[in-house]
Structure 1
Amino acid sequence: MILSDAYNYINVTGQAAAASKMRSTVIANNIANVDTPNYKRQDVKFESLLAAQMSGGGSLDSKIASMDLARLNAQVYTDNANLSYRSDGNNVDISTESSYYAQSQLKYNTLVDYMNRGFSAIKIAMGK
Structure 2
Amino acid sequence: MLFNNLYSNVNILEKALDASWLRNEAIASNIANADTPGYKRKDVEFEKYLNEAIKFNKSIHEIDTDKINPKIITEYSNLKNRMDENNVDIDVEMTEMAKNSIKYNTLISQVSNQFKRISIVLGK
TM-score normalised by L of structure 2: 0.90
Equivalent AA in structure 2 for residue 90 of structure 1: N
Tell me the CA shift for residue 125 of structure 1.
2.1
**Pair 1:85 & 2:81 matched:** yes
Equivalent AA in structure 2 for residue 26 of structure 1: A
**Aligned residues of 2:42 and 2:73 also touching (Cα < 8 A):** yes
- Distance in structure 2 (CA, Å) of the matches to 1:114 and 1:105: 14
Match of 1:48 in 2: 48
**Pair 1:117 & 2:113 matched:** yes
Q: Give the 3 Å change call, closer, same or farther, for CA 98–82 of structure 1 in structure 2.
A: closer
**Aligned residues of 2:37 and 2:85 also touching (Cα < 8 A):** yes
Tell me the CA shift for residue 68 of structure 1.
1.6
Single out whichever of 5-14 and 76-85 deviates more from structure 2.
76-85
C-alpha RMSD of matched pairs (Å): 1.6
Q: 2:62 aligns with which of 66, 90, 108?
A: 66
TM-score normalised by L of structure 1: 0.87
Tell me the CA shift for residue 14 of structure 1.
0.7
Tell me the CA shift for residue 81 of structure 1.
5.4
Identity of aligned residues (%): 40
Single out whichever of 85-94 and 63-72 deviates more from structure 2.
63-72
**Aligned residues of 1:49 and 1:71 also touching (Cα < 8 A):** no
* Deviation readout 1:73-103 (Å, 9 max, x if unpaired): 0000001257341111100000000000111
**Pair 1:12 & 2:8 matched:** no
**Aligned residues of 1:34 and 1:93 also touching (Cα < 8 A):** yes
- Distance in structure 2 (CA, Å) of the matches to 1:57 and 1:47: 15
Q: Give the 3 Å change call, closer, same or farther, for CA 95–82 of structure 1 in structure 2.
A: closer
- Distance in structure 2 (CA, Å) of the matches to 1:66 and 1:41: 34
Does the residue aligned with 2:81 lie in a helix, a strand or coil?
A: coil
Tell me the CA shift for residue 57 of structure 1.
7.1
Does the residue aligned with 2:79 lie in a helix, a strand or coil?
A: coil
* Deviation readout 1:10-38 (Å, 9 max, x if unpaired): 10011011101100110000000001000
- Distance in structure 1 (CA, Å) of the matches to 2:43 and 2:57: 30
Does the residue aligned with 1:11 lie in a helix, a strand or coil?
A: helix
Paired residues in the alignment total 121
